[in-house]
Amino acid sequence: MTITLKPCPFCGAPAGMQKWHGGGPKKRLVFCESDTCAVAPSVCGETPSEAAELWNHRAEGPAAVPEDEGGAR
Ligand SMILES: [Zn+2]
């Protein structure tokens, strides 16, 4: 089974996956591989596919706020 990891949402660098010690034998850490990433995000999953699913989840775009409700009153 092939797992595809999306790039880091912050810097665009490829993501890496490694075994995570201290968990079950299938536990994995997915992380941004860039050394210079300002955020350096990472997620843990109990299995490789769970870790990938968590990593690949992306929020929807920002909520739209009507102009007449976003300003000072
Ligand atoms: Zn990054």
For residue 10, the CA-to-ligand 1 centroid distance in Å is 5
Tell me the pTM: 0.80
For residue 69, the CA-to-ligand 1 centroid distance in Å is 34
For residue 24, the CA-to-ligand 1 centroid distance in Å is 26
* pLDDT for position 73: 56
Instruction: Say if CB 24 and CB 1 are below 8 A apart.
Output: no
| pLDDT single digits (tens) 5-31 | 999 999 999 999 999 988 899 999 999
CA distance linking residue 15 with residue 7, whole number of Å: 6
